Amino acid sequence: MNAPVEAGRFGSGQAINRVEDPLLVTGRGRYTDDLSFPGQLHLAFVRSTYAHADLRTVDTSSALGMPGVVAVYTGADLVAAGVKPLPGPAGFRRADGSPGASADRRALAHERVRYVGEPVAAVVATSADAARAGAEAVWVDYEELPAVVNPFDAMQPGAPVLCAAAPDNVAAEMGHGNAQAAAEAFGRAAHVVALDIHNQRLAPSPIEPRCVIARPDAEDGGRLYVHISSQMPTGVRGALAEAIPGLDAQRIRVLVGDVGGGFGMKTGAYPEDIAVAYAAHTLQRPVRWRAERIEEFLSAVHGRDVTSRGELALDADGRVLALRVRGVANVGAYASATGVAIQVLIGPWVSTSIYAIPVVDLHFKAVMTNTATTGAYRGAGRPEAIYLTERLMDAAARKLGLDPAELRRRNMIRPEQMPYTNAMGQVYDSGRFEQILDQGLALADWPGYGARREASRQRGKLRGRGIATFLEWTGGNAFEERVTVNVTADGFIEIGSATQAMGQGIATSYAQLAVDVFGVPIERIRILQGDTDRVNGFGSAGSRSLFTGGSSLDVASRRTIAEAKDLAADALEAPAADIEYHAGRFTVAGTDLGIGLFELAARQPEARIHVDSTSKVGGPTWPNGCHVCEVELDPDTGSVQIVAYASVNDIGRVVSPVIVQGQVEGGAVQGIGQALCEAVRYDDASGQLQSASFMDYALPHADGFVGFKTAFDTSIPCLTNPLGVKGVGELGTIGATPAVVNAVVDALDHAGLGAASEALQMPVTAEQVWRALHLRAFEPSPYRSVS
């Protein structure tokens, strides 16, 4: 099939304007909160003001008498109605072999609350103001219990217990590798480095808060339509069907419009979603809820929050013999399967990164505390693991007196070792890591750093340089995807996918891939997502949309052309083998006889050509990169300014150049946020959230850095999918955090702090830097030895 002109202009690899943007920038986007339905009701939640308490009484009588209040629900009401809790981590195991443990995470708390902000009651009224007034009229009698927010404290004898099945508050734990082989490697090592590292808790903070509207649709037999801001429509449908009696999945239609950011926070269903759907189903009226920003801080899933002790054993030449890690993850009041998996399984998969580390000994505990539940946040386990490994690599280079780039080079997996199986049993299909390192060093002008440091010194600034060479795993281990294609008589190709747009521009990439195959103007391609009546699948998470969804789209598009060729052969009364396709038209080879694709569709009994295709890729992808950051510290104030940031990234084939650059650089900004300013903080004694607004939770600002030099090496295609692409959405986040913090540590080291600078913890605030420089004071080690 010849490459059509349209593919050359708008197909993959071309830098085009995003197809989503005209509607968004002209205010015609349709977010869930933009929707309105006749007779709709508004829901407001009563939330716990205590981190841990028994519910003695939840009195709703006054609220029911308030103007406009239609109904009030409590946890006891929902339990009596048979509403089920969300699933826990039973698929994992505790130390004694028993199933992973967690208290039931219900739509509304029943008998006990376990974190500040947990929903206790739901008030449904004719207006948002009436619902809020009704919520204020609900009287809750709490019997306060001791609370614990630190996971190390939670494991101590006598600590408050969050779940009877886990008296030590350990929801699950998991070990990996070979402890004996690691001990032997450490015994013969010429050098050992060890660091205690805390990956602090983060709030994902998408610009659009959670929103859900549930309504019975009389024109569709009373099925429940659920409009929601979500990354996983099918997952939401399944969770609601599982939780609410009388609603199987076929009775629910989940619809997702525009989504103002997800970052992993909008995967799966929340307790609030179940409460809204239950109210709409019970009252048989539309019910809506949109989170206030404080509710997002209180009850949306948080990310990260793992404390680790990491050790590297190295030989005399600086080659790593073994990696040993002990990690304790705070998974919040209710341990979810996702929150546990991220820390005890997914992070460890990438812990050896791009290095040929032969032996690992890893052990992680997922601990419950009186805090909000943790879950997926951009990177989900990989940033935590890579941050620890890259901090250790810098510490090792400092101890051995080696250039940090040289130490990394000595330990990199070589191209001839591909496919490479790491110590966790994960198989890398492709990668030329030294090639990426060399390009990264050149882009960052690594040899010219000394002159830049001297120039900074003359201005009274302390300059530091950090590097991160790394990879990540993408795919969520969900490699199959279904795609539908409809070629319509009115001249459009409609492609349905269960992956989900959330601001990342995936519709543009999909449209470009479709242009590659169909060769029609990109305006003729319509990408349809967010409707479980059209197509169902895993959704968008783990940077899987392009390499799984895009690959399935490519397969489905080619199957459509193949099926249409048979139809064209019948229409043109010619053998199918003689039919050629080019730029939207079928012709009989060697003649001028032909028929257009859309004309052919019009001749079909349903006036369309329809293909329903399911296909799968061969495994995950392993995008990787080299990120180099330079910072300047102000010794008088401790402020940190990023003055240079260069990255070279291997994401295989690039479909949409503008989009992948935005993904890497936007992700890097989020990684910078973790490095320098973001932190969710709870009061140790009361469990009250102290960072419940953007006045107290600091996001990165544009004036915190000067911009990026970003490059891509497209010469190393992925071998596990037909497109040769690798995931990109989380790569920048993973690389930025260690590159930035390593740069600050380097500046402190050269300011005279030496190895003491390695005690630095995130976020690296101006206060922390000033205290280090002037008082030689650091935060105490966050890690405590546990059995």
Q: pTM of this prediction?
A: 0.97
What integer pLDDT is reported at residue 1 of this predicted model? 44
Which residues is 212 bridged to in the sheet? 228, 289
- pLDDT tens figures, 579-602: 999 999 999 999 999 999 999 999
What is the separation of C-alpha 724 from the centre of its chain, rounded to a whole number of angstroms?
22
Predicted confidence at residue 10, as pLDDT, reads 79
pLDDT in tens, 474-527: 988 899 999 999 999 999 999 999 999 998 999 999 999 999 999 999 999 999
- Please determine, for residue 356, whether its predicted confidence score (pLDDT) is greater than 90: yes
CA atoms within 13 A on the CB side of 741: 36
E runs forming strands in 513-605? 525-528, 579-582, 585-588, 594-596
**Which residue type is seen at 412?**
M
Average pLDDT of span 19-30: 94
d(C-alpha 580, C-alpha 589), whole Å: 6
* More confident position, 9 or 415: 415
- The answer, yes or no, to whether residue 695 has pLDDT greater than 90, is yes
- C-alpha to C-alpha distance for 196 and 341, rounded to whole angstroms: 22
Q: Where are the beta strands (DSSP E) in 179-237?
A: 191-202, 211-217, 223-228
For residue 642, list its beta bridge partners. 631, 705
440-458 exposure pattern, b = at least 16 Cβ within 10 A, e = fewer: bbebbebeebeebbeebee
The token pair that represents 11 in the structure block = 């197909």
Mean per-residue pLDDT, 534-544? 92
- pLDDT (0 to 100) of residue 497: 96
Q: What is the pLDDT of residue 6?
A: 63
The answer to whether the beta carbons of residues 436 and 624 sit under 8 Å apart is yes
Share the mean pLDDT of the chain: 96
Burial code (b: 16+ CB inside 10 Å, e: under 16) for 271-282 equals bbbbbbbbbbbb
Lowest-confidence region among 166-170, 411-415, 699-703: 699-703
